[in-house]
Amino acid sequence: MIRSFAGRPGSGEQPREFLSLDNVMDLLLDAVCLVDADGYFVFASAACERIFGYPPEEMVGRCIKDMVHPEHLERTLEAADRVLAGQPLVHFENCYIRKDGQPVHVMWSAQWSEKDQLRIAVARDVTERKRSEALQAALYAISEAAFSTQNLDELFQHTHEVIASLLPANNFFVALYDRDSDELSFPYFVDPSHEAPAPQPLDAGALSAEIIRTGQALLLNPLSRSTLNEPDRPDIAKGALEWLGVPLVSPSGTIGVLAVQSYMADVYRERDVELLQYVSTQVAAALERKRMEHRLQHAALHDPLTGLPNRALFHDRLENALALARRDKSLLSLLYLDLDRFKQVNDTYGHATGDVLLQEVARRLTSCVRESDTVGRIGGDEFLILLSGVGYPDDALIVAEKVRSVLLESYDVGGLRLSIAPSIGIAGYPEHGDDYRQLIRMADESMYRAKKQGGNRFDATVQGEHTPS
């Protein structure tokens, strides 16, 4: 309808026409919709195309249920029922699927017209606001995880969950770069169709390595994906159509990569690159914090020379092993080891040579036992070995002989050919006590008996000394 007015009295203005109501609505940034009682659009203003991706003529005749995001359908229908019952709806938010398949978050105000048997609704696009809120929540969650998670694996899993709330991330991995070894590893890798790549040199061809070298994000679509030589790209799954990776940058440089990949096309866009880069800054800070915590914890519980558990950590593991043995009524054995005449090596060749010798002894001791066992250095040239589930004395004697034989092999230290022999004492649970201090004392006394007999032998507490045949 065209309306006119005569101008202000005395102004001399000529009458002019107002815009039609339809044209006014088409100029609004918010969308105006009329929906019948069954949920079908009967009118849509021009702004609907900007918000929903459909021109007004394509909106008319469509059912709201076919456009609402499945996760929001139930609450949307409940809200529609309240409007039909005469209850005005103000600032109701839900999510729709645009014509191009992308989600759009919408805030509605609506009221039922009994006379016209129509819902009159105004829709506002709040996608950017929701995106900003989600991003802030994600950054807070990652920051909180840096304090609350116990280890890096938990941090990566939590990061995966957070990123999946922002963009499609069913297939997600973290690649980390070790500058000292110049090696790329994949400590967290989730992709049902692709195995985690093995650790590899930075120049081995992984696409993640390219991001680490350049410090730049990379988004691959089907066209650019086809130009890559797949066998040379171990961190891209065969059949993946899109791949998005961003660098993890810390003050010390690029330390890794966050990456997602999809087996469907048209999933990731430039805005996802920006979003993932924004999140990666917080992830890198959280990762550095966790690494620092790990280094401090490792330093507090490990011998700085050999990297073996120190006295405190060994005692803790022995106490835990004893608790399990009591519960399961199982056995364990303890070996106390001292290197014969090690002081002569230090006095003759210097402490630097002695340190290298101790490092090699630690490596050989570790090779003699299972992953479930523990080798610790408790000071000087003294070591303890905890053998869980190993009977005393027979099984423990076999391990002790293996240790003795391995340590007797000569050592090449800086061009010097050195030899060293151990004295080993053995104690077992429950034969020699159920307290960790008592077991260590018994194994220590047993070791000194072996040393007094000339060394290069092992002694099993009550069984008498055992001399190599």
In a domain, 351, yes or no: yes
Angle in degrees, 0-180, between the axes of helices 270-301 and 152-164, rounded to the nearest 10: 160
pLDDT at residue 144, as a whole number: 83
pLDDT at residue 225, as a whole number: 59
Residues 281 and 402 in one domain: no
Residue 461 CA to residue 83 CA, distance in Å, equals 86
Average pLDDT per block of 10 residues along the chain, 469 residues long: 45 56 76 95 94 95 94 94 94 94 93 94 93 84 80 88 89 92 93 89 88 92 62 77 92 91 88 88 86 84 94 94 92 95 94 96 96 94 93 86 95 93 94 91 94 90 45
| CB 358, CB 382: distance < 8 Å | no
Q: Assign residue 442 the CATH number of its domain.
A: 3.30.70.270
Residues 258 and 224 in one domain: yes
- Of 34, 60, 28, 56, the residue nearest 115 (C-alpha): 34
In a domain, 12, yes or no: no
Domain-terminating residue out of 125, 146, 175: 125
- As for how many domains the chain has, the answer is 3
Residues 237 and 382 in one domain: no
Residue 220's DSSP bridge partners are: 243
Considering the entire predicted model, what is its pTM?
A: 0.60
In a domain, 306, yes or no: no
Residue 143 CA to residue 163 CA, distance in Å, equals 13
Residues 317 and 284 in one domain: no
Q: Assign residue 93 the CATH number of its domain.
A: 3.30.450.20
User: Tokens in use for 166?
Assistant: 């922002």
Residues 184 and 289 in one domain: yes
Strand order of the sheet with strand 332-340?
374-379, 382-388, 332-340, 421-429, 457-460, 465-466
In a domain, 3, yes or no: no
pLDDT at residue 396, as a whole number: 92
In a domain, 166, yes or no: yes
Residues 261 and 221 in one domain: yes
Domain-terminating residue out of 79, 108, 125: 125
Residues 367 and 384 in one domain: yes
Residues 37 and 182 in one domain: no
Residues 263 and 152 in one domain: yes
Residues 327 and 251 in one domain: no
User: Tokens in use for 5?
Assistant: 């007015």
Range of the domain at 286: 131-300
Q: What are phi and psi of 404, to 5 degrees?
A: -60, -45
In a domain, 9, yes or no: no
In a domain, 4, yes or no: no
Domain-terminating residue out of 300, 331, 350: 300
Residues 331 and 226 in one domain: no
Q: Assign residue 250 the CATH number of its domain.
A: 3.30.450.40
Helices (H), 85-151: 127-148
- DSSP codes of every residue in 26-51: HH-SSEEEEEETTSBEEEE-THHHHH
Residues 203 and 348 in one domain: no
In a domain, 8, yes or no: no
Residue 422 DSSP one-character state? E
pLDDT at residue 270, as a whole number: 86
